[in-house]
Amino acid sequence: MTSASAIPSPVSKLRTYGSFVRFEHTLFSLPLVLAGVFSSPGAGLGLTRWALIAIAAVGARTAAMAMNRLIDRKVDALNPRTRGRELPTGAIRTPEALMLLVASAAAYLAACAALGPWYLAVSPIPLAVFAIYPYLKRWTPFCHFGVGVALALAPLAGYAAAHPDLARPEVALWLALFALLWVSGFDIIYATLDESFDREAGVHSMVAWLGRERALKVSAFLHRAAALSLVPAVVSLLHLVPEGPFSKPVPAVASLLLLTAVAALLALEQRWAENVNLAFFKVNVWVGFAVLALVLVARSAAGF
């Protein structure tokens, strides 16, 4: 007979689910969604639309992580670094993970339907990307770009949800390019943790293919390109100022400082790449918020 103490409490189970989907990693995607929302004039959203955007964002991200964990559960069970995850240890059973996937995808689809028919029509696209990218490591060392594409959808989704007319998408497109380059670069850093295992197990990654040193050079190149991709985004926002890009010098200078801060954070991430916990979980989390601050400051200069 199972003792009462062996049955996990609701709070403990909730923490297990939160760990399973890495809820804290929302700090990477949420600022990008918000940056997309504020990337173009308008976005005077009511409370209902804000709530629907939040439900769609959380539902999509939870579905993405649930898919990733389900697809990778056998590989995770073999990898010494990941065999302690919830599915390999049995802390969460496969039917539970499937139910979480179905529930989160349903919440996402319901929010898209409430936003409008067009949003429901395009809603399968992110789900398809989320389903494909875990398999890329079985096929190609360019798998890191699959994660980048998945996160690049965040500012585009935020922009589209806040601007049904899809007018002036250029800033959101630059933000999507930034996300693609940034996330692909830091995923290469993260892959250094599994270099030996990936080679032994035949799992593809840039690190296993090129070696750690050369793969990190690719990551550094992607991060430099990511910082540069923000320049046209800021210029586009500042040029929306009716009197000219520098008619409001304080926001313009603040935008330059924030742009420098993003570049500095990405440089620190590369410098501390040997300490993945520091580079990935400490430095990296501030990048998205710095980009959001950059968009908000440049937007204030544009007066919208």
Residue 277, domain member (yes or no): yes
Q: Does pLDDT of 66 surpass 50?
A: yes
Nearest to 129 by CA among 159, 98, 108: 108
Question: 126 in a domain, yes or no?
Answer: yes
What is the domain count for the chain?
A: 1
Residue 25 confidence (pLDDT): 66
Residue 6 forms part of a structural domain? no
Query: How far lies 267's CA from each of 188, 262, 270, 291, in Å?
Result: 15, 9, 5, 15
Q: So what's the pLDDT on residue 4?
A: 46
Residue 99, in any domain of the structure: yes
Residues 57, 123: contact at Cβ < 8 Å? no
The residue range of the domain holding 25 is 13-302
Overall average pLDDT of the 216-239 stretch: 91
Q: What percent of the chain has pLDDT over 90?
A: 64
Question: Does 1 fall in a domain?
Answer: no
8 domain-assigned: no
Is 17 domain-assigned? yes
Residue 68: predicted pLDDT:
92
Please check whether residue 235 lies inside any domain of the structure: yes
- Average of pLDDT values for 61-85? 92
Is the model's pLDDT at 108 over the cut of 90? Answer: yes
Indicate which CATH number applies to the domain containing 192: 1.10.357.140
88/21: higher pLDDT? 88
Q: Residue 1: pLDDT band by 50, 70, 90 thresholds? A: very low
Determine the Cα angle at 188 with ends 187 and 190, to 5°.
60
Beta-carbon contacts of residue 202 (< 8 Å; ≥ 6 apart): none
Q: What is the mean pLDDT of residues 49-66?
A: 92
